């Protein structure tokens, strides 16, 4: 296998330079044949493809078979013209080319003098005849018309089958999107084909740099069976194609507004309680046009977001006075800038560049829905940047190349408010003793205290890629479009600074009282390090590379095979050399009409592990400057830490635990011993030399059928098998309350150095890839799309699915209940939603008036039932109830396994149903002004109570009781000037 990988790398390196992981060309191709009146091939005909908006042109000459191919075209609208001596000209206008699409166009020329010019106007086909990829694209019109709460792209993604949205309840973040049962961390986000992922968390929180809706020309989702040029994740490839300048000066200025007077009452507000003040203002402008007509263009946008969001939160009576029913506020202030230029140097060379920047500051991150009391409020300061440049070169009529360079950067601090100044700037420790800041108090139903933990992350990712496309008109009885490329990226986190003042964990919601042992904390956790004025800094440097080759082989006019092979290499994965991923698929135009296409495929997809995994290993080694300390009742001097001082919160309510001077001395002594090398981290995090890159085996089969000329129906069966999945295992898990020790979990001495083998280790977590973490997914996916005709359009996406997984958490931190019985945690995936239905529609009763709606109905996610305490003494508080032990007061709600234990995620949370409506009226204007557009948007029209999933902690008074909900009905006013 290793030899094969090296051979593939050598062959491709002859004509390919390297590219970024997960990067892809995301460009389209127009191909076909030119024939004479008797359907015979016409070699030597000239085919000119022109971008309608920019005037950019590409020219090729047909081969001996009459075939032609024009690859690496930017998404857009094109005209195709054919000329040949002795024949009349022919053309096809208005061809819409979506990202990554392949449009087949056959043109017949007439004999000169019979008909001098043949012009055909037509749209792109609804059913793609040559691709087995599963996914879809949303057009600029849909993006503008479909209502999207807070103008968040998550609302668009749910309109593609296989995609399960979990929108962020705090509105501003992208939220999570689960694709075909894969963890959201394994999604890959692109901007015009350029890598736009978060290296720290993968794709779990959306794009690295946020893209506002007014910048998006087309939104593309590849959910399954994508070709070998795409990689770096086993989830979805989500690409946002940006708008660009044209030969005309075009622009817009807009504003969207809402406040509490336009919203319904929150459904948890008590009678007579006034609606809390809320206000959202999103305003911006954009302008684009020619620098040199038909040669160079520009486009620029700016958007300002001011959001003040409120939510009613409920707490149990036992939490008073530290946490009482209250309104939580979440505020955002953000500035977003985008610029793009496109240049055609000559008929064969093109350059474009993009720049994106966002500054965003928030107070009370998620505070409108989470379980935090006011003292525990979290602030965030975020600065994101991205620039990318692309050079496209047409080397011959059959060979072209695309080269990209880019840089993605982030500076992000997310931490409790005590690590920020009054004006919202991150200050970290600010020269203070960390333990003097205060500690986080984590109760079953709420969190309070002014301290806790949080990082400042600085990301600098540099990417470079190149790919070649070569057209072979006749080989092995068919046409071949061959792509080959490779990539390289430097993924640096330089540095990541952690600040931590410690967290107390409590078994009850009662405020802390030193005189009442039932209220004492049972565990204290903290990460410590050398004295620092700001935080504990760690640097991580990663490198990722890949090569790929693929062949779109048109065997006949009706049958196409898509074959590919990809090799990935990840520096931070110890056993990374054998990541070969073959892919194969077919598309069969069953009747040769382009209306019925049967498709299927099988493939292997590898995922890179985010850089945060390496940071965790560095911070938590056996020898480390940043030991994680956990204190429980069995620890030496435990009482000095676990019987802390009692203080009052900032509102004057007593009951908050804070380390005493004696407790601080114990922790400082432990820290100093480890840092000085005279002690060792008793809770280390270790890697495995056998850890591999996680991968997914996927297969699918289905049919796509055009209906009634403007509608297409697709039905696909999609299944995945997740293999070599990453999990974190406590290899020193207690047996009958006793930890086995070094001699048992490391008999060979390969993990723990000789000088540390006498240490009484506690939890020893090791990152592993193992068949015990295998997961499975199967689904039926249905898509119905109707293109705009007779004044209306629409689409429907439905997924019936089941996803099984092992453990909880993102792959890099996935934990199980019983580390010596991992199979006990095989169960439903935490993000599995059995039924996901979304539909949208747009209706123009007359030209100036538009009604658009989106409706979604999603099954509830599973909830894990826990007892709220560490029963087996392994320092994890994820223990589930057992029959005959934990059901004496009230029954276990989950199903039980054959040993009487509650199964993983055995309860069901609430589902959600929402319907949104947008009404737009366009007032035509004269001269240089196109129109003045007025918007009235309604979200959650029925004012349905869509509850946030409750806690599954049986120790909480709020066990399976919803304490917060998503938004009640909201209204938004908007105005936009187009010119």
Q: What is the DSSP letter of 395?
A: -
**721 strand-pairing partners:** 697, 776
Residue 16 has pLDDT above 60, yes or no: no
Instruction: Tell me whether strands 326-346 and 296-313 are parallel, antiparallel or unpaired.
Output: antiparallel
Beta strands per DSSP E along 529-558:
536-554
Report the C-alpha gap between 99 and 97 in whole angstroms.
7
For residue 285, whether the previous peptide bond is cis, meaning omega lies within 30 degrees of 0, is no
Using 50, 70 and 90 to split pLDDT, how confident is the model at 206? confident
pLDDT tens digit sequence for 217-263: 998 999 999 999 999 888 999 999 999 999 999 999 999 999 999 98
What is the pLDDT at residue 21? 41
Residue among 173, 266, 155, 327 nearest 967 (CA): 266
What is the pLDDT at residue 9? 39
The CA-based dihedral angle spanning residues 364, 366, 369, 375, taken in that order and rounded to the nearest 10 degrees: -30
Which residue shows structure tokens 């996914």? 135
Least-confidence region, from 185-199, 633-647, 877-891, 965-979: 185-199
Q: What is the mean pLDDT of residues 704-712?
A: 91
Q: Sketch out the chain's domains with CATH numbers.
A: 15-121 (2.60.40.1120), 134-242 (2.170.130.10)
Q: What is the mean pLDDT of residues 273-297?
A: 94
Q: What is the mean pLDDT of residues 791-806?
A: 96
Residue 265 has pLDDT above 60, yes or no: yes
Among 145-159, 205-219, 272-286, 789-803, the range with the most confident prediction by mean pLDDT is: 789-803
What is the pLDDT at residue 3? 46
Residue 167 has pLDDT above 60, yes or no: no
Least-confidence region, from 145-159, 288-302, 491-505: 145-159
Which residue shows structure tokens 């020219």? 59
Residue among 130, 371, 550 nearest 957 (CA): 371
Report the C-alpha gap between 365 and 309 in whole angstroms.
10
Using 50, 70 and 90 to split pLDDT, how confident is the model at 920? very high
Residue among 374, 438, 362, 379 nearest 414 (CA): 379
**86 strand-pairing partners:** none
What is the pLDDT at residue 23? 46
Residue 918 has pLDDT above 70, yes or no: yes
Residue 867 has pLDDT above 80, yes or no: yes
Cα dihedral sign, 876-813-446-963: negative
Residue among 399, 483, 484, 564 nearest 18 (CA): 484
What is the pLDDT at residue 170? 42
Residue 17 has pLDDT above 70, yes or no: no
Q: What is the mean pLDDT of residues 319-334?
A: 94
Q: What is the DSSP letter of 882?
A: B
Helix (H) or strand (E) holding 638: helix 638-642
What is the pLDDT at residue 22? 42
| pLDDT averaged over every residue in the chain | 90
Report the C-alpha gap between 48 and 51 in whole angstroms.
10
Using 50, 70 and 90 to split pLDDT, how confident is the model at 600? very high
What is the pLDDT at residue 7? 38
Using 50, 70 and 90 to split pLDDT, how confident is the model at 924? very high
Is 260:306 a contact under the CB 8 Å cutoff? no
Q: What is the mean pLDDT of residues 77-85?
A: 91
Using 50, 70 and 90 to split pLDDT, how confident is the model at 641? very high
How many angstroms separate the Cα of 976 from the Cα of each of 172, 214, 256?
A: 22, 11, 9
Residue 888 has pLDDT above 90, yes or no: yes
What is the pLDDT at residue 863? 97
Residue 916 has pLDDT above 60, yes or no: yes
Report the C-alpha gap between 401 and 406 in whole angstroms.
17
What is the pLDDT at residue 752? 95
Report the C-alpha gap between 835 and 802 in whole angstroms.
9
Collapsing DSSP states into helix, strand and coil, what is residue 212?
A: coil
Provide φ and ψ at 593, rounded to 5°: -100, -10
Collapsing DSSP states into helix, strand and coil, what is residue 922?
A: strand
Residues contacting residue 811 through CB under 8 Å, at least 6 positions apart: 183, 185, 186, 607, 609, 694, 725, 726, 727
Using 50, 70 and 90 to split pLDDT, how confident is the model at 54? very high
DSSP alpha helix (H) spans, 324-369: none
Is 176:858 a contact under the CB 8 Å cutoff? no
Least-confidence region, from 141-155, 460-474, 653-667, 866-880: 141-155
Q: What is the mean pLDDT of residues 790-813?
A: 93
Collapsing DSSP states into helix, strand and coil, what is residue 570?
A: strand
What is the pLDDT at residue 171? 44
Q: What is the mean pLDDT of residues 275-285?
A: 92
Q: What is the pTM of this model?
A: 0.88
What is the pLDDT at residue 113? 54
Report the C-alpha gap between 104 and 703 in whole angstroms.
19
Report the C-alpha gap between 355 and 347 in whole angstroms.
25
Instruction: Tell me whether strands 107-108 and 28-35 are parallel, antiparallel or unpaired.
Output: parallel
Cα dihedral sign, 59-62-68-71: negative
Residue 655 has pLDDT above 70, yes or no: yes
More confident position, 98 or 356: 356
Report the C-alpha gap between 147 and 851 in whole angstroms.
10
Q: How many residues does the chain have?
A: 979
Residue 122 has pLDDT above 90, yes or no: no
Collapsing DSSP states into helix, strand and coil, what is residue 94?
A: strand
Provide φ and ψ at 362, rounded to 5°: -135, 150
DSSP letters for 758-805: TS-----EEEEE-GGG-EEEEEEEEEEEEEEETTEEEEEEEEEEEEEE
Report the C-alpha gap between 90 and 78 in whole angstroms.
14
Report the C-alpha gap between 321 and 373 in whole angstroms.
10
Q: What is the DSSP letter of 426?
A: B
Report the C-alpha gap between 353 and 296 in whole angstroms.
12
Q: What is the mean pLDDT of residues 284-295?
A: 97
Report the C-alpha gap between 191 and 924 in whole angstroms.
33
Residue 722 has pLDDT above 60, yes or no: yes
CB 353: neighbour CB atoms within 10 A?
A: 16
Expressed in angstroms, the distance from the first to the final Cα of the chain is 59
pLDDT tens digit sequence for 551-565: 999 998 899 999 999
What is the pLDDT at residue 8? 39
Percent of the chain with pLDDT over 70: 95
Which residue shows structure tokens 């060309």? 25
């Amino acid at each position: 296998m290793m030899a094969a990988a090296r051979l593939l790398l050598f062959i491709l390196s002859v004509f390919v330079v390297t590219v970024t992981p997960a990067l892809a060309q995301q460009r389209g191709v127009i191909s076909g044949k030119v024939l004479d009146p008797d359907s015979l091939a016409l070699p030597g005909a000239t085919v000119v493809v022109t971008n309608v908006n920019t005037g950019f042109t590409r020219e090729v000459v047909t081969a001996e078979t009459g075939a032609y191919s024009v690859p690496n075209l930017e998404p857009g609208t094109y005209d195709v013209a054919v000329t040949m001596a002795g024949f009349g000209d022919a053309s096809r206008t208005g061809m819409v080319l979506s990202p990554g699409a392949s449009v087949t166009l056959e043109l017949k020329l007439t004999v000169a003098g019979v008909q001098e010019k043949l012009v055909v106007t037509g749209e792109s086909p609804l059913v793609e005849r040559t691709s087995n990829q599963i996914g879809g694209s949303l057009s600029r019109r849909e993006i503008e018309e479909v209502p999207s709460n807070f103008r968040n792209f998550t609302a668009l993604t749910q309109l593609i089958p296989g995609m399960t949205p979990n929108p962020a309840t705090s509105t501003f973040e992208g939220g999570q999107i689960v694709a075909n049962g894969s963890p959201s961390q394994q999604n890959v986000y692109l901007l015009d084909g350029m890598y736009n992922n978060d290296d720290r968390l993968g794709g779990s929180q959306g794009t690295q740099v946020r893209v506002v809706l007014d910048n998006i020309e087309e939104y593309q989702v590849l959910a399954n069976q994508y070709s070998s040029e795409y990689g770096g994740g086993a989830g979805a490839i989500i690409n946002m194609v940006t708008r660009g300048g044209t030969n005309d000066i075009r622009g817009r200025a807009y504003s969207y507004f809402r406040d509490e007077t336009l919203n319904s009452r929150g459904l948890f507000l008590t009678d007579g309680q006034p609606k809390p003040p809320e206000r959202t203002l999103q305003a911006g402008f954009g302008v684009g046009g020619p620098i040199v007509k038909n040669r160079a263009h520009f486009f620029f946008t700016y958007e300002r977001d001011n959001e003040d969001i409120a939510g009613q939160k409920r707490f149990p009576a036992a939490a008073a006075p530290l946490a009482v029913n209250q309104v939580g506020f979440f505020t955002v202030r953000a500035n977003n800038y985008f610029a793009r230029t496109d240049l055609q140097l000559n008929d064969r060379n093109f350059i474009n560049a993009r720049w994106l920047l966002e500054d965003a500051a928030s107070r009370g991150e998620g505070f409108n829905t989470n379980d935090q009391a006011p003292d525990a409020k979290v602030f965030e300061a975020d600065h994101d940047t991205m620039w990318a440049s692309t050079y496209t070169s047409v080397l011959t009529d059959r060979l072209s190349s695309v080269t990209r360079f880019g840089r993605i950067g982030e500076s992000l601090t997310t931490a409790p408010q005590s690590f920020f100044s009054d004006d919202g700037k991150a200050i970290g420790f600010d020269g203070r003793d960390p333990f003097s800041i205060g500690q986080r108090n984590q109760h079953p139903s709420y969190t309070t205290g002014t301290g806790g933990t949080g990082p400042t992350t600085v990301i600098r990712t540099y990417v470079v890629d190149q790919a070649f496309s070569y057209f072979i008109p006749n080989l092995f009885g068919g046409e071949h479009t061959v792509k080959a490329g490779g990539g390289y990226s430097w993924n640096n986190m330089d540095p990541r600074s952690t600040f931590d003042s410690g967290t107390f964990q409590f078994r009850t919601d009662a405020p802390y009282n030193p005189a009442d042992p039932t209220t004492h904390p049972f565990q204290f956790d903290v990460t410590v390090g050398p004295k620092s004025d700001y935080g504990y800094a760690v640097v991580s440097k990663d490198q990722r590379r890949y090569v790929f080759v693929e062949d779109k082989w048109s065997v006949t006019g009706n049958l196409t095979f898509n074959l590919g092979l990809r090799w990935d290499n990840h520096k931070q994965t110890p056993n990374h050399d054998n990541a070969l991923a073959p892919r194969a698929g077919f598309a069969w135009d069953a009747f040769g009409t382009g209306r019925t296409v049967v498709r299927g495929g099988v493939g292997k997809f590898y995922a890179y592990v985010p850089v945060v995994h390496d940071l965790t290993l560095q911070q938590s080694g056996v020898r480390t400057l940043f030991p994680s300390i956990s204190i429980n009742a069995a620890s030496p001097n435990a009482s000095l830490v676990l019987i802390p001082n009692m203080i009052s919160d900032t509102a004057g309510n007593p009951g908050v635990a804070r380390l005493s001077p004696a407790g601080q001395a114990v922790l400082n002594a432990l820290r100093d011993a480890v840092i000085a090398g005279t002690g060792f981290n008793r809770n280390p995090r270790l890697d495995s030399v056998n850890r591999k890159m996680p991968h997914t085996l996927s297969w699918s089969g289905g049919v796509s059928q055009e209906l009634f000329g403007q509608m297409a129906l697709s039905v696909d069966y999609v299944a995945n098998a997740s293999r070599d999945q990453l999990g974190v295992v406590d290899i020193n898990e207690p047996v009958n309350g006793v930890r086995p020790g070094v001699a048992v979990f490391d008999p060979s001495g390969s993990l723990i150095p000789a000088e540390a083998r006498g240490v009484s280790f506690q939890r020893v977590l090791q990152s592993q890839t193992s068949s015990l973490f295998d997961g499975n997914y199967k689904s039926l996916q249905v898509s119905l799309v109707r293109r705009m005709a007779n004044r209306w359009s629409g689409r429907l996406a439905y997924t019936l699915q089941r996803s099984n997984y092992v453990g909880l958490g993102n792959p890099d931190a996935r934990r199980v209940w019983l580390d010596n019985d991992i199979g006990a945690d095989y169960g439903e995936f935490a993000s599995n939603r059995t039924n996901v239905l979304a539909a949208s529609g747009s209706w123009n009763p007359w030209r100036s008036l538009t009604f658009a709606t989106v409706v979604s109905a999603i099954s509830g996610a599973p909830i894990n039932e826990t007892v709220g305490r560490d029963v087996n003494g392994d320092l994890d508080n994820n223990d589930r109830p057992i029959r005959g032990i934990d059901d004496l007061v009230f029954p276990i709600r989950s199903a039980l396994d054959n040993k009487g234990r509650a199964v993983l995620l055995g309860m069901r949370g609430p589902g959600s149903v929402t319907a949104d409506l947008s009404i737009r009226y366009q007032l035509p204007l004269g001269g240089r002004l196109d129109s003045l557009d007025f918007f009235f948007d309604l979200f959650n029209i029925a004012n349905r109570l869509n509850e946030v999933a409750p806690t599954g902690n049986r120790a909480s008074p709020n066990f399976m009781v919803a304490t917060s909900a998503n938004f009640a009905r909201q209204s938004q006013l908007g105005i936009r000037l187009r010119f």
